[in-house]
Amino acid sequence: MVLMLIEALLVATLLAAGVVFFAPDRYAGKLAAALSLLPLAGSLWLWLDFEGSGNALLEGSEIAYETTVEWMDIGYTLQWYVGLDGVSLPLIVLTTILTTAAIVSAWTPIDERQSQFYGLVLLLEFGLLGVFAALDFFLWFIFWEVVLVPMYFLIAIWGGPRRKYAAIKFFVYTNVASLIMFVGFLTLVFAMGDSVTALSLPEIAKALHAGGAVGSIAGFAPETVKLFAFALMFFGFAVKVPIVPVHTWLPDAHVEAPTPVSVLLAGVLLKMGTYALLRFNFTMLPEVATDYAELIAAIAVLSVIYGAMLALAQQDLKRIVAYSSISSMGYVILGLVAYTTYGIGGATFQMISHGFISGLMFMVVGVIYNETHTRLVGDMSGMADRMPWTVGIFVAAAFGYMGLPLMSGFAAEVFVFLGSFGTPHLSLSPLFTAAAMFGIVIVAGYLLWAMQRTLFGEFDLGTDYEVGRAPLHDVAPLAVLLACVIVLGVNPDLFMGMIQDAINPIVDSLGGGA
């Protein structure tokens, strides 16, 4: 309470956004990179100093860096309530690292209205940090909606030829999904009556776990009310993830967005959906999740296979990576519904791993585009001779996506598969796990095909540009992200220990095991 470290992190990020937004264009990129180091250093400090235990929403937990200040009373007490546990802290670290890397990667492609661009990127970071730190629903929802505004403008102003269409589609999809989710959550809260007096997420979760908190509404039984709330929240968050079939906004947004924005969209924004699913659906209403586990697992496997198949059919490198994100998020859903320590823990670790790998992949594609001015597989070949460092990192990142041992993707997928195989409440878990594992084969297929066509063979380019080695400021963030992928692959316990500590109370609440 005295140190208020989370507040300091948020204020530093918001002030940085304001300063950069009004700075002269010629200084904006360097200034934004320098100021982004403040929240980065702050998140690393929080990680190194972390002493929380358990899950922030459940009994018997110690919330790290917790601050509670009553805000207003509207029948329910609204609070400034923030804090971190082993689920949210790794996502805070991921956000700050990717934001700094994205800002540096934007120095080459962003050459107009630079101060506004970098200011909006930092405002986006501010919203993301708030989503992962807030523990009051009203406060959390404000941060959730704040994220939409800078992302809309970043796509609509600095995007490609169809940028306005992509930005509007993104905004409509995600805003309608937020409204549906909002209705679902409030239905649950109203059904709880006097069981809760505030919109504090821990208070609501603890009341639900105590049993008997949900009453009937309009004659509907409590079980029906829970299912209704679960379904609406699941749909709202599924759009943000996204999972099949509510995924169609994502490829358009990725293709039209400038590369640094795609890095944050794939690396962090998609994790808002899976993080919220874990916090709301799978933590607050575990009985509903386990009752419909087969359906949720089927949706997860469909996303894995269908997303990978769509990626296999693409010719645009950005679309390939975009569709592969849909596939990767399917593994997260499969791990969450397993309700084992390795299942939910692996799903959370997959969020972090995919954030680094997908951000790295988009960044590499952006560097290649900066030199060739094309992303089409058929327009180029032999890039390895002209851009050896960039291509080397591309190959390493692709192998990370395929689950190469000693890289974070391998650790994440192994955790998920171990956790999902033989789950008691999931009678078809061996079948679902085997089908999801087959997705890795498809991933290897489309990535190896794309690399063979574009990176190797005789040099050929379908555009009239000279291709040379990328500048150091383009390659440096690639190297940093690749290092993160390797370090987490070699030593997953840098995050996995705190993640498991936060996941175990969820598993124990259902009588599950490690």
Strand partners, 81: 68
Beta-strand relationship, 64-73 and 77-84: antiparallel
> Could you give the 3-state DSSP secondary structure of residue 480?
helix
Mean pLDDT in order along the chain per 10 residues (514 residues): 80 97 94 97 95 89 92 88 96 97 93 94 97 96 96 94 94 95 95 88 92 78 93 96 91 92 95 96 94 94 93 90 92 94 95 96 93 89 90 94 92 94 83 91 89 89 83 92 97 95 90 49
Residue-number span of the structural domain to which 322 is assigned: 5-510
Residue 139's Cα: distance from chain center in Å?
Answer: 19
Cα–Cα dist 323/319, whole Å: 6
- The answer to whether 313 and 251 are in contact (CB under 8 A) is no
Cα–Cα dist 73/136, whole Å: 13
Number of domains forming the structure of the chain? 1
φ and ψ of 68, to 5 deg:
-130, 120
pLDDT in tens, 50-95: 988 899 999 888 999 999 999 888 888 899 999 999 999 999 999 9
Cα–Cα dist 325/251, whole Å: 10
- The answer to whether 294 and 428 are in contact (CB under 8 A) is yes
pLDDT in tens, 175-208: 999 999 999 999 999 998 888 888 999 999 999 9
Cβ neighbours of residue 415 under 8 Å, at least 6 residues apart? 335, 342, 343, 345, 346, 349, 350, 492, 496
Amino acid identity at 455: L
Handedness of CA 139, 140, 141, 147 (dihedral sign): positive
Helix-then-strand count for the chain, H and E:
22, 4
Q: What pLDDT is attached to residue 267?
A: 94
Nearest CA-CA partner of 150 in 8, 252, 251, 261: 261
User: Rg for the chain (alpha carbons), in Å?
Assistant: 22
> Could you give the 3-state DSSP secondary structure of residue 207?
helix
CA distances from 456 to 47, 167, 316, 375 (A): 41, 35, 17, 15
Q: What pLDDT is attached to residue 511?
A: 61
DSSP class of 470: P
CA distances from 350 to 144, 231, 292, 499 (A): 21, 24, 23, 11
- The answer to whether 302 and 439 are in contact (CB under 8 A) is no
Residue 439's Cα: distance from chain center in Å?
Answer: 20
> Could you give the 3-state DSSP secondary structure of residue 270?
helix
- The answer to whether 331 and 436 are in contact (CB under 8 A) is yes
Q: What pLDDT is attached to residue 27?
A: 93
